[in-house]
Structure formats: structure tokens, C-alpha cells
Amino acid sequence: MAVQASREIVIDAPPGVILEALADVGSLSSWSPVHKRIQVLDWYSDGRPHHVKATIKIFGLVDNEILEYHWGPSWVVWDAGDTFQQRGQHVEYNLQPVGIDKTRVRFDITVEPSGPVPAFVVRRASEIVLDAATKGLRDQVMAAFGSEQPK
């Protein structure tokens, strides 16, 4: 059974800056504690990553994924196929400008585990992933592009 989770956060930066931070997948392991190793396998002609090999670790479980990225003017999506720990994964970041130089970021993830997972593990893992995907991204954007935002 698929596990879905989502969260929204407002970041004090325009959408283009946030997309630039998301495109810098090489820095992902510095702001996401679940990403241990990242390797871009190929790039789109605009310089954004297309296929990425990622080593993920959560609760001591390690998984290696091949992620296929797709980019739009205000969104990024990636999908992963079968791995040892999952049958599939779909992730979306959707960005919406809010006022001047602020962006509402919505993060959605759907994972199809390869086997049954206890509900308490799903809840805890979801919190870790959601924190990395939103708060970690905000902290990376603020560190890389300036201006402090309260936590």
C-alpha cells in the first residue's frame, strides 16, 4: 500500500532561487540527512539534472535509487522505480509566489514500500523526510542566497 505525505512552507526567496537550490543536487546530502551519496548520471541541455543516482539511509535501512527528474517553470518532479526497499516513488515540489520575494513551497511524496511497514515507522520516517524536504531546503536557500528567516 502506497504511503503519501505532504507539507507546505513559505521561504523568503523567489521561486527561481528555490528551483536553483533544488537543481543543485550535488549539495543535497549537506541539507538532507537521509541522502548519503548523490551522483548526477546525465543532464538536460539547460544544465539541470535528468537522471540521478542517490543512496538513501533512514532508520539504518540503505537503499540505492535512480531518480528521473522533470522540470517546469514553477515545479520539479522526480520518480524512482523498483529498489530493494520500495516498488516506486514519486516526489513533487510545487512553487507559488507569495507577495514580493517569497514562495509557498508544497512538497508531496508517494512511496510504495516493497513490503509491510508498521504505522509508527511510517509516521516517523515521514516526519524525517518532510523536515528534510522543507526545513532543510529553506535552510539551504537561506544559507546559499542570504537573508535570515525565523525557524
- Taking CA atoms, 120 is separated from 94, 107, 117, in Å, by 28, 21, 8
Among the listed residues 27, 38, 2, the one whose alpha carbon sits nearest the alpha carbon of residue 110: 2
Q: Is residue 151 part of a domain?
A: no
Residues in contact with 115: Cβ distance below 8 Å, sequence separation at least 6, in sequence order? none
Residues in contact with 19: Cβ distance below 8 Å, sequence separation at least 6, in sequence order? 71, 74, 76, 95
Residue 6: predicted pLDDT: 97
Residue 90: predicted pLDDT: 96
CATH code of the domain containing 86: 3.30.530.20
Residue numbers of the domain that contains 87: 3-145
Q: Is residue 15 part of a domain?
A: yes
Residue 149: predicted pLDDT: 46
> How do the pLDDT tens digits run along the chain, 151 residues long?
889 999 999 999 999 999 999 999 999 999 999 999 999 999 999 999 999 999 999 888 899 999 999 999 999 999 998 888 889 999 999 999 998 899 999 999 999 988 888 888 888 989 999 999 999 999 999 998 764 444 4
Spatial distance between the Cα atoms of 150 and 95, rounded to a whole number of angstroms? 20
With beta carbons less than 8 A apart as the criterion, state whether 56 and 68 touch: no
